Structure 1
Amino acid sequence: MLDIVDLLKSKNDEKVKHEDTFSAVLFNQTVECKELVEEAFRFEGITTPASIENTDENIRRHVRESSIEVVLVDLNRSQNVTKDMERISHLLPNHASVIVIGSEDAISTIRNLKQMGFYYLFWPITKVELVDFVKHVYENRKKQAGLGKNRIAKKVAVWGSKGGLGTTLLTSEIGLILSDLKNSSCVIVDHNFSGGDIDIFLGIPDFEKRMVQKGGMTAGMDFSYATSMTRKVNDMLSVLSIESAELNELELKEYIRIFATELAKQNNFILEDLSRSVNSKKDLLYVSQECDIFVLVIEPSVASVREACRLISELDRIGSPLRCILVMNYARPEISACISRAEVEKCLGQKIDIVCGFDKSAAKDIIEGKHIYQLNSALSSNIHKLTGLILGQESRVTKPFSIKQLFKGRT
Structure 2
Amino acid sequence: MMLDIVDLLKSKNAETVRREDTFSAVLFNQTLECKELVEEAFRFEGITTPASIENTDENIRRHVRESSIEVVLVDLNRSQNVAKDMERISHLLPNHASVIVIGSEDAISTIRNLKQMGFYYLFWPITKEELVDFVKHVYENRKKQAGLGKNRIAKKVAFWGSKGGLGTTLLTSEVGLILSDLKNSSCVIVDHNFTGGDIDIFLGIPDFEKRSVQKGGLTTSMDFSYATSMTKKVNDMLSVLSIKSSELNELELKEYVRIFATELARQNNFILEDLSRSVNSKQDLLYVSQECDIFVLIIEPSVSSVREACRLIAELDKIGSPLRCILVMNYTRPEMSATITRSEVEKCLGQKIDIVCDFDKSAGKDIIEGKHIYQLKTALSSNLHKLTGLILGQQMIPTKRFSIKRLLKGRA
Q: CA deviation at 1:279?
A: 1.6
Once residues 6 and 36 of structure 1 are traced to their aligned partners in structure 2, the CA distance between those partners, rounded to angstroms, is 40
**5+ residue gaps, structure 1:** 406-411
CA distance in 1 between partners of 2:226 and 2:46 (Å): 38
Q: Secondary structure at the match of 2:325?
A: strand
Q: State the one-letter code of the partner of 1:344.
A: V
- Taking the aligned partners of 2:360 and 2:72, their CA distance within structure 1 comes to 43
Q: State the 1:277 CA deviation.
A: 2.0
Give, in whole Å, the separation in 2 of the partners of 1:330 and 1:216: 41
- Say whether 1:132 aligns with 2:128: no
SS of residue matched to 2:266: helix
Name 1:46's counterpart in structure 2: 47
Q: Is the 8 A contact 2:162 2:278 kept in 1?
A: no
Equivalent pairs, count: 402
Seen in structure 2, the aligned counterparts of structure 1 residues 195 and 366 have a Cα distance that, compared at 3 Å, is same
Q: What residue in structure 2 maps to residue 195 of structure 1?
A: 196
SS in 1 for 2:246: coil
Contact 2:193 2:277 in 1 (8 A): no
2:209 is the alignment partner of 1:208: yes
Q: Which structure 2 residues correspond to residues 122-271 of structure 1 after superposition, within 5 A?
A: 122-271=123-272
Give the letter aligned to residue 367 of structure 1: I
**One-letter code aligned to 1:194:** T
Task: Provide the C-alpha distance between the structure 1 equivalents of 2:58 and 2:143, rounded to a whole number of angstroms.
Answer: 30
TM-score (norm 1): 0.95
Counterpart residue identity of residue 79, structure 2: S
Corresponding residue of 2:305: 304
Query: What is the Cα deviation at residue 172 of structure 1?
Result: 0.1
- Identity of paired residues, percent? 87
Q: Equivalents in 2 of 1:2, 1:295: separation in Å? A: 72
2:366 aligned with 1:365, yes or no?
A: yes
Counterpart residue type for residue 286 of structure 1: Y
Q: What residue ranges of structure 2 are gaps of 5+ in the alignment?
A: 407-412
Instruction: Give the Å deviation of 1:219.
Output: 1.0
Mapping for residues 74-93 of structure 1, pairs under 5 Å = 74-93=75-94
Q: Return closer, same or farther for 1:14/1:218 CA change in 2, 3 Å cut-off.
A: closer
What amino acid maps onto 1:377 in structure 2? Answer: T
**Greater Cα offset, 250-259 or 66-75:** 66-75
State the alpha-carbon separation in 2 of the partners of residues 138 and 169 from structure 1.
42
How far did residue 15 of structure 1 move?
3.5
User: Is the CA contact 1:180–1:236 (under 8 Å) kept in the aligned structure 2?
Assistant: yes
Q: After superposition, what is the alpha-carbon deviation per residue over 1:202-230, rounded to whole angstroms, capped at 9, x for unaligned?
A: 00000000001111111111000000000
**Separation in 2 of the partners of 1:64 and 1:302?**
46
Q: Deviations over 1:86-140 (max 9, x none)?
A: 0000000001000000000000000000000000000000000000000000000
* Structure 2: distance between partners of 1:90 and 1:178: 9
Q: TM-score, normalised by structure 2?
A: 0.95
Which SS does the other structure have where 1:189 is aligned? Answer: strand
**Does the CA-based 8 Å contact 1:191-1:279 persist in structure 2?**
no
Alignment deviations for residues 47-104 of structure 1 (CA, whole Å, 9 cap, x no partner): 1111111000000000013421100000000011011000000000001000000000
Separation of aligned partners in 1, 2:395 and 2:307: 28
Between the aligned partners of 1:8 and 1:48, the Cα distance in structure 2 is 29
Query: Contact 1:192/1:278 (CA < 8 Å) preserved in 2?
Result: no
- Cα offset for 1:2? 8.8
Measure how far apart 1:9 and its partner are: 7.9
The whole-number CA distance in structure 2 between the counterparts of 1:143 and 1:326 is: 42
1-structure distance, mates of 2:267, 2:54: 26
Determine the C-alpha separation between the residues in 2 that align with 1:230 and 1:137. 32
For 1:72, the equivalent position in structure 2 comes to 73
Distance 1:138 1:298 in 2: 47
Aligned-pair distance for 1:354? 0.2
Distance in 1 separating the partners of 2:66 and 2:134: 25
Q: Deviations over 1:10-31 (max 9, x none)?
A: 7566444322200110000011
Conserved 8 A contact 2:227-2:264: yes
